[in-house]
Structure formats: structure tokens, C-alpha cells
Structure 1
Amino acid sequence: MARGSSGIVAGLTAAALAAVCFLAYQASANAPDSVAAPSDKASGATAAPSPKPKAPKEPFAVPADSDTGTRVVYALKDRRVWIVDDKEKALRTFTVMPSSVNPLPGVYAVTSRSGTITGSDGVPIEHVVRFANVGEVSVGFSAAQDNSMESPDPTMKTGGVRMKRTDGNALWTFATVGVKVVVVP
């Protein structure tokens, strides 16, 4: 009986140690810079003053010059999409992985949709929302069924702008055929 209970104690001790290590990691990852990193003054090192950091761009702020009304805004440089209602309010914004072929900045409309297909790169995708053609390449938003957002192979001409599945679900619900898509630089 003593051997069996010592095994239980050892298992509980290991589980408790793992939990403490996990909580310590979480605490260190979320600690403010002033607590998490040692000060240069404390170590005696002198450093040149760092440049003033830029204020972070408000992610929910819809880009200027992105037209008006109900629309999807796709910012090529920022790799970000906004879903905007008729009151100019961003209902949702999220990052995307651009395709190897991008449309020019301009105003487009959703032309077709597909629930589940295989992408031109061979990846199973869902919630495809097509809005532009560049040459023979159809450009649209989609989510990989495995939730990946890999960089596209630059040697392949693909038009899939990838996003996470939860973002793809939201875009699918919003962007029906005819909804405006505005591409900004």
C-alpha cells in the first residue's frame, strides 16, 4: 500500500510542478517591460537614448480613402481586412496572408463564392469569396481548413488571400455576391 501511495504522491508532485512552471512562464510573458527586463542602470551599462516609439496604429480605424458604405476593405501593405457596416463602423478587422497575385487598388464587388474547394495551391480551403481577376487568376479571400496561413509559393500564380477560419466565417457571412470590396495600397 505504501508503494502505491508514493506513486500517487510523485504524480501529484510532478503535476503541481508543471502547473507552477506554466504559470511562471505566463507571468513572465505578460509582465511589463519595466519588470521583465533588467534595467541598463542596474547593470552599470550606459546606452544611447532610444528613439521615441511610434504610436501604434489603431487597428479598428478604417483606412482613409477606402470609399464609403457597407464594404470589405483590403489593405495590401498592412495585410489587413476590415468588415465595415453602412455607418462606417468596423465590425471586425484581422490580418491576412496575401496571395502571390494581387489586384490593383480600386473598388470591386464579390462576384462568386464557394463553400469548400481545393485552392490553386492544392490546399483544402473553405468560404471562398472571389472579387477580382488579374489576368487568368481569380483573386479572393479564403481560409485553409487546417487554419494555416502559409506564405504563397512565389513561383505559382495564386489568388487566395488567406485568413484564419474564424475570420473566414465572419467574412463569409458578411460578403455575399455584390458586396463592395475596396482594395487600398
Structure 2
Amino acid sequence: MSAAVTVRRGRVLAAGTAALVTGTAVVGALIGVGGPASTGAYAAPPATGVTQSDDAPLAGAANDSAAQVAPQLDTSPESVQRDETPLAVPSDSGSGRRVVFDMSDQHVWLVRDNGRAARSYPVSGSVYDNLDPGTYEVYSRSEQAYAFDGSGSMRFMVRFTQGDNAAIGFHDIPIDTEGRKVQTRAELGTAQSHGCIRQWPDDAKALWRFAPVGTTVVVTA
């Protein structure tokens, strides 16, 4: 009698354990726990970055090819800190297709033939009084250029006049000899350079595409 009771109890315990395991598997299948990852699950996209660079007055071998530069997505924290409100094209900046640089506002406009701005953005011109208001013309371009004093390098140099020490033009924010940008994006809109006009890399690429040799450049006070 005792042996029969023991056997029946063993069978009941085994049956209960099997039921518990089966129930757990069913619940797991319903809520997705313990099973393989769903093939429809969302995977976060990899982070992207933007290579940047910085500036000073410069000289560099001319490269007048109209190279097309693919725009890059700007995902830097600074990209949401600037006031991007466009300013009106200066009324005293002439007519036709041109690049306009206003020294008071530290702002650039890329103006189409119809007089409308294709793009406008803050820049950093020279801290020195080395540029007179007037009409100029792009005469040389270099995709890579260097400061005349060896202090750094910059990209997308578009020259339109000559200063005391070197050419004056538009380029991206230069990089010093230790690989650091010489100013922040937040400082654009204020005079910071030693001769040229510094631009954020995306803006520098846009001007590079817009202004081949022969393009009119108008500087306003």
C-alpha cells in the first residue's frame, strides 16, 4: 500500500512539473520572453558624424576645377544652437548672380540671377580693417589651402582679392597644427579671423559649388 501511494505521488509531481513547464513556454511565446529575437524588431541607425576643420590668412596652390562636393548631414550639438533666421539681401549689393559679404552683420548671401538668396549664413571675417567695401571677382580656388604663417590649414578656399600678407577669400573654419578648430560654430557671426572669411564646413562647400572663377563678390559695410 505504501509503495503504491509513493508511485502515484511521483506521477502527480511529474505531471505538475510538466504542466508548469508547458505553461511557462506558452506565456513566453506570447510575450516574447526567452525566445529568439523578432525579425521585425527596430534597430537604431548607427551614429553619424561630420568631419570639421579651422582658419587664418592663407596661401595655397590654386585648383580651379569645379569639383562637386557631396553635402554632409550636420549632426553636431552646435547645429541646433545657432539662430538660422535669414537676413534680407543688402539693397546696396548690386544685381545679378553674386556672393555678398556684409562686414557689419558678418553674414554671407549666395544670390541667384533673379536677386533671391539661394543660401545665407553667419560667417567670421577679419578682426583687422583689411578689406574695403566694393565689387570683386573670384580669381582663384583651392580645395586645400594653408595659412601663410604655417599655423594651420583650411578647405574650400575661394579667393577674390589680395591682402598685405596673403590672398583674402572664403574658406571653412581652419584647423591648427594640433588638429583643433580655431573657433567654434557659435562664434560665427562675429569677427574672428586674421584676414579671410571663415564659414561652417557645409556653408563653405555650398559657396565652393556656387562660385567658380569669375563669380562676382560684393563686400558691403
CA contact (8 A) 1:70 1:85 kept: yes
Q: CA deviation at 1:120?
A: 3.2
Instruction: State the alpha-carbon separation in 2 of the partners of residues 99 and 72 from structure 1.
Output: 17
Instruction: State the alpha-carbon separation in 2 of the partners of residues 123 and 80 from structure 1.
Output: 24
- Root mean square deviation of aligned Cα: 2.5
Stretches of structure 2 that go unaligned for 5 or more consecutive residues are 1-84, 184-191
CA contact (8 A) 1:119 1:160 kept: no
Q: CA deviation at 1:118?
A: 1.8
* Aligned equivalent of 1:92: 119
Instruction: State the alpha-carbon separation in 1 of the partners of residues 174 and 202 from structure 2.
Output: 11
CA contact (8 A) 2:124 2:198 kept: yes
Structure 2 residue 162 is the aligned partner of structure 1 residue 133: yes
Structure 2 residue 213 is the aligned partner of structure 1 residue 177: yes
SS state of the match for residue 204, structure 2?
helix
SS state of the match for residue 98, structure 1?
coil
CA contact (8 A) 2:174 2:182 kept: no
Instruction: State the alpha-carbon separation in 2 of the partners of residues 77 and 119 from structure 1.
Output: 25
Q: CA deviation at 1:60?
A: 3.7
Percent identity (aligned) = 37
Cα distance 1:133–1:78, how it changes in 2: closer, same or farther (>3 A)? Answer: same
Structure 2 residue 197 is the aligned partner of structure 1 residue 161: yes
Deviations 1:2-58 (A, max 9, x none): xxxxxxxxxxxxxxxxxxxxxxxxxxxxxxxxxxxxxxxxxxxxxxxxxxxxxxxx7
Q: CA deviation at 1:100?
A: 3.7
Counterpart selection for 1:68 from 68, 90, 95 = 95
AA in 2 matched with 1:176: P
Q: CA deviation at 1:148?
A: 4.0
> Which structure has more RCO (C-alpha within 8 Å, separation ≥ 6)?
2
CA contact (8 A) 1:149 1:164 kept: no
* Aligned equivalent of 2:144: 116
Structure 2 residue 132 is the aligned partner of structure 1 residue 104: yes
Instruction: State the alpha-carbon separation in 1 of the partners of residues 139 and 133 from structure 2.
Output: 17
AA in 2 matched with 1:107: T
CA contact (8 A) 2:135 2:216 kept: yes
SS state of the match for residue 100, structure 2?
strand
Counterpart selection for 2:173 from 140, 144, 151 = 144
CA contact (8 A) 2:148 2:166 kept: no
Instruction: State the alpha-carbon separation in 2 of the partners of residues 171 and 109 from structure 1.
Output: 14
Q: CA deviation at 1:145?
A: 5.6
Choose 142-151 or 71-80, whichever is displaced more: 142-151
TM-score (norm 1): 0.61
Aligned residues: 126
TM-score (norm 2): 0.52
Deviations 1:146-182 (A, max 9, x none): 5946323xxxxx3221010000000000011000000
